[in-house]
């Protein structure tokens, strides 16, 4: 359970010594860093003084919405400052819009108590439909869903969602504790609705029974769930949230989701929620927009409250009640569902008043400081990280930020925003560029190494070769870029590989391993890409006749009777993760690149006392190729050319390699005292270590 102890004490100023020592170019912006820290500490103190404690404030879901009392009476509370009157209607009162009025309280709050029935049962039954009736200052009557609704559902005959009173007599009780925070984070990014080969919306139960075991087998220790927060439009991928406290009903009930999380925990899998606090759906009937009839209840009024690219509403992070709502939302998912952390979507949009629109962020550090920075949003993110890491010390927070904001993943006390990781979004862009623009013989080894290692020192990074973004229609996954012309015809393992399939399978493995081994402190894979899923992702819409053909993941391609090479890619991904689990290279800070040879197309580096040798050359294999290595005897721990991975079996895996006291000059001019000779076939990577894999 959560530790609800008092928050840590903060000093007057942050300790910037490490921050500035690692990045001297930040020296002119010390005042900016101190200012945002001071604004954060001031906000924290103000909240505690006014609310009694940050714990109480950030668990306001126990106060707002609907709650059954000890005597089975029901207490309803809302914040609707622009409303003239508020009423509750639904199945329980035969949809009489004025029979149950709320009482107006101070600060725009409203309250309604409904006594139990004569036999002492609650006046409103579990699964009953409800609506709030908002009477605006202009006398207009609006039907709304409570912002704190725990369950919403769309009826087959309706275009909007209903608020469903969720109060089961036997709520699900979690049986398993959260796993310990992983030493190395290997994330399986997943969408419950597409997690089935069937052309339909898959369920939480399907994911629990059929996908979690695959995630465990593949060696991923974390699943990141997308599109869980309720969203009226399925095709939004969950990024147009309508109901922030409700788990999406299209996949099942809240109890089904709790069972999914609990099962994942039983398997030792950490579960992250893709949380969207950067914006909200512009829906009114089933969203937050114009909840109380005004343009400014949860959002900025006027143009500032509208995202011109996304067509969504933008939160007013300076608002006391918005802070309460969003911070309590984080606590709700942690407490009620036992999630282990969050991937924060759209952080770049939050950080700047321009929301990153038409910005390249390729200039100086002035991009990250100044009047164009939204300090209110920055404070909101700092408060979010503070409460999460205070009450849940093992909580993981990841920021989706394309801008490269310095200090995003520094601790608050050291002048940062407090995230644990940021997504390294430059890497998948680089792979796509290489696929589109360059012939194999023109791949730039130095540029690949630079892209994979170019990240802020002292700030955790989640690296990936491809995520859901690259799977969407209009783009291509790596497998599609490499093999799309033949993936539907030539993937049988019963016939020899064509040149296209051979190239695609070998490079698919190499790209994913070099990304994991060199690109960050954590690794992410989008579901299905581990085995080279053969199609893009496209949700049902008018443009495709509402088809589910591409809104699914074809796990059935892995069935043994199909004899398809997808199983070979799956096997390599599994063994890559298992090797990482053993050696922990993602958790190792020290990386030494010793070879990045443009002519030979060879990259060699050492991390976590493991030696990685990549030969990207399309045709040249090398015998007795000298590589730098720490002194010792090496064995092959992973060989992408092994036949079980769709390789050609050119290496004898029992071969031992011995270093010699022959110096080797690395790419940065450094001399290594020992080296050894290896055989490295074309389009192959071998992973060498000083002990055999068990």
Phi and psi (nearest 5°) for 585? -65, -25
- As a whole-number percent, the residues of the chain with pLDDT over 90 amount to 91
Report CA dihedral (183, 466, 529, 602) to the nearest 10 degrees: -80
Provide the edge-to-edge strand list for the sheet that holds 591-597: 591-597, 602-607, 610-615, 684-689, 633-639, 656-658
- Residue 1 pLDDT class (50, 70, 90 cuts): very low
Residue 158's pLDDT is: 79
**What are the helix (H) ranges across 454-528?**
468-471, 478-483, 499-518
Domain assignment of residue 349, yes or no: no
Domain-located, residue 85:
yes
Residues marked active site are found at: 345, 400
3-state secondary structure 218-242: HCCCEEEEECCEECCCHHHCCCCCC
Paired residues of 460 in beta bridges: 421
SS3 at position 450: helix
Task: Tell whether 597 is covered by a domain.
Answer: yes
* CA gap 196, 211 in Å, rounded: 9
What average pLDDT does range 298-306 have in this prediction?
97
The helix/strand/coil state of 427 is helix
Please give the average per-residue pLDDT across 561-588, as a whole number: 98
Mean pLDDT, the chain, whole residue set: 95
Quick one: which of 588, 590, 617 has its CA closest to 603? 617
Residues whose CB falls within 8 Å of the CB of residue 424, separated by 6 or more in sequence, listed in order: 455, 461, 462, 463, 464, 519, 520
CATH of the domain at 649: 2.60.40.1180
C-alpha torsion sign, points 283, 284, 287, 293: positive
Structural domain boundaries, residue 662: 592-689
Specify if 79 maps to a domain. Answer: yes
Sign of CA dihedral 497, 503, 504, 507: positive
Residues 445, 449, 454: CA angle, nearest 5 degrees: 150
Q: Is the pLDDT of residue 261 over 90?
A: yes
The enclosing H or E element of 671 equals: strand 671-672
Mention every residue, 6+ apart, whose C-beta is less than 8 A from residue 570.
218, 530, 531, 558
What is the domain count for the chain? 2
Q: Which two tokens mark 639?
A: 């060989």
Count CB atoms within 10 A of the CB of residue 200.
13
pLDDT at residue 8 above 80? no
Phi and psi, residue 575, nearest 5°: -75, -30
CB 415 within 8 A of CB 33: yes
- Tell me the chain's radius of gyration from C-alpha atoms: 27
Residue 5 has pLDDT above 50, yes or no: no
CA 40 to chain centre: 25
Helices (H), 194-351: 204-206, 212-218, 254-266, 320-336, 347-351
User: Taking Cα atoms as reference points, which of 621, 616, 619 lies closest to residue 596?
Assistant: 616
Assess if residue 566 is contained within a domain.
no
Task: List, for residues 392-438, the tens digit of each pLDDT value.
Answer: 999 999 999 999 999 999 999 999 999 999 999 999 999 999 999 99
Q: Which of 118, 148, 164 is the last residue of a domain?
A: 164
Tell me how far apart the terminal alpha carbons of the chain are, to the nearest angstrom. 36
In a domain, 457, yes or no: no
**pTM exceeding the 0.85 threshold for the entire prediction:** yes
Q: Last residue of a domain, which of 164, 187, 215? A: 164
Q: How far apart are CA 67 and CA 579, in angstroms?
A: 49
**Domain ends where: 146, 164, 182?**
164
Mean pLDDT of the 148-170 span:
92
Q: In the predicted model, is pLDDT for residue 2 greater than 70?
A: no
Angstrom distance (rounded) from CA 360 to CA 367: 9
* Residue 373 resides in a domain: no
Alpha carbons within 13 A on the beta-carbon side of 85: 12
Asked if residue 383 lies in contact with residue 397, where contact means CB atoms within 8 angstroms, the answer is no
**Distance (Å, rounded) from C-alpha 339 to C-alpha 331?**
10
Instruction: To the nearest 10°, report the CA torsion of 645, 651, 655, 657.
Output: -100
Alpha-carbon distances, residue 606 vs 332, 597, 627 (angstroms): 43, 16, 11
- Structural domain contains residue 100: yes
Distance CA 541, CA 545 (A): 6
CATH number at residue 108: 2.60.40.10
């Amino acid at each position: 359970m959560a530790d609800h102890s008092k928050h840590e004490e903060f000093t007057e100023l942050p300790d910037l010594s490490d921050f500035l020592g690692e990045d001297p170019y930040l020296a002119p912006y010390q005042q900016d860093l101190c200012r945002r820290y001071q604004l954060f500490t001031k906000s924290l103190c103000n909240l505690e003084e006014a609310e009694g404690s940050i714990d109480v404030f950030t668990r306001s879901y126990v106060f707002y919405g609907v709650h059954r009392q000890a005597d089975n009476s029901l207490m309803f509370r809302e914040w609707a400052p622009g409303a003239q009157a508020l009423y509750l209607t639904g199945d329980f009162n035969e949809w009489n819009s004025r029979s149950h009025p709320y009482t107006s309280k101070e600060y725009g709050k409203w309250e309604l108590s409904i006594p139990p029935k004569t036999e002492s049962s609650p006046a409103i039954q579990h699964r009953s439909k409800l609506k709030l009736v908002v009477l605006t200052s202009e006398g207009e009557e609006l039907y709304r869903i409570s912002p704190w609704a725990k369950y919403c559902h769309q009826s087959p005959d309706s275009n909007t969602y209903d608020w469903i009173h969720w109060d089961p007599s036997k709520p699900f009780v979690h049986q398993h504790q959260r796993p310990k925070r992983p030493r190395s984070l290997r994330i399986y990014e997943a969408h419950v609705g597409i997690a089935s080969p069937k052309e339909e919306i898959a369920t939480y139960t399907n994911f629990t029974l059929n996908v979690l075991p695959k995630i465990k087998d593949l060696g991923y220790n974390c699943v990141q769930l997308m599109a869980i927060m309720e969203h009226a439009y399925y095709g939004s991928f969950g990024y147009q949230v309508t109901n922030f406290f409700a788990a999406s009903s299209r996949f099942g009930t809240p109890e089904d989701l709790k069972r999914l999380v609990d099962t994942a925990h039983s398997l030792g899998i950490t579960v992250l929620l893709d949380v969207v606090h950067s914006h909200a759906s512009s829906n009114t009937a089933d969203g937050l927009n114009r909840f109380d009839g005004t343009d400014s209840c949860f959002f900025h009024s006027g143009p500032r409250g509208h995202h011109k690219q996304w067509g969504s509403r933008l939160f007013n992070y300076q608002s006391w009640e918005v802070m309460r709502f969003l911070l309590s939302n984080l606590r709700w998912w942690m407490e009620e569902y036992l999630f282990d952390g969050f991937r924060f979507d759209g952080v770049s949009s939050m950080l700047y008043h321009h929301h990153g629109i038409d910005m390249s962020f390729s200039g100086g550090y002035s991009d990250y400081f100044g009047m164009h920075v939204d300090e209110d949003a920055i404070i909101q993110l700092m408060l979010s990280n503070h409460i999460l890491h205070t009450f849940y010390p093992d909580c993981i927070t990841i920021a989706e930020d394309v801008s490269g904001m310095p200090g995003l993943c520094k601790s608050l006390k050291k002048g940062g925003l407090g995230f644990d990781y940021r997504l390294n979004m430059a890497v998948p862009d680089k792979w796509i560029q290489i696929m589109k623009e360059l012939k194999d013989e023109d791949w730039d080894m130095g540029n690949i190494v630079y892209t994979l290692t170019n990240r802020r020192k002292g700030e955790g990074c989640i690296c990936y070769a491809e995520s859901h973004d690259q799977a969407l229609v209009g783009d291509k996954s790596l497998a599609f870029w490499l093999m799309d012309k033949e993936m539907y015809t030539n993937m049988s393992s019963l016939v020899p590989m064509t040149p296209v399939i051979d190239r695609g399978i070998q490079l698919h493995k190499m790209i994913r391993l070099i990304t994991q081994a060199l690109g960050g402190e954590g690794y992410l894979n989008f579901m299905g890409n581990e085995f080279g899923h053969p199609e893009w992702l496209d949700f049902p819409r008018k443009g495709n006749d509402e088809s589910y053909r591409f809104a699914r993941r074809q796990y059935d391609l892995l069935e043994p009777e199909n004899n398809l090479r997808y199983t070979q890619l799956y096997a390599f991904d599994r063994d890559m993760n298992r090797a990482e689990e053993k050696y922990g290279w993602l958790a190792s800070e020290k990386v030494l690149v010793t070879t990045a040879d443009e002519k030979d197309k060879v990259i060699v580096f050492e991390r976590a006392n493991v030696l990685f040798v990549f030969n990207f050359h399309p045709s040249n294999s090398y015998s007795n190729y000298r590589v730098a290595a720490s002194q010792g005897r090496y064995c092959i721990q992973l060989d992408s050319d092994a036949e079980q991975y769709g390789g050609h079996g050119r290496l004898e895996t029992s071969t031992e390699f011995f270093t010699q006291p022959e110096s080797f000059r690395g790419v940065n001019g450094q001399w290594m005292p020992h080296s050894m000779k290896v055989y490295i076939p074309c389009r192959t990577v071998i992973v060498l270590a000083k002990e055999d894999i068990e």
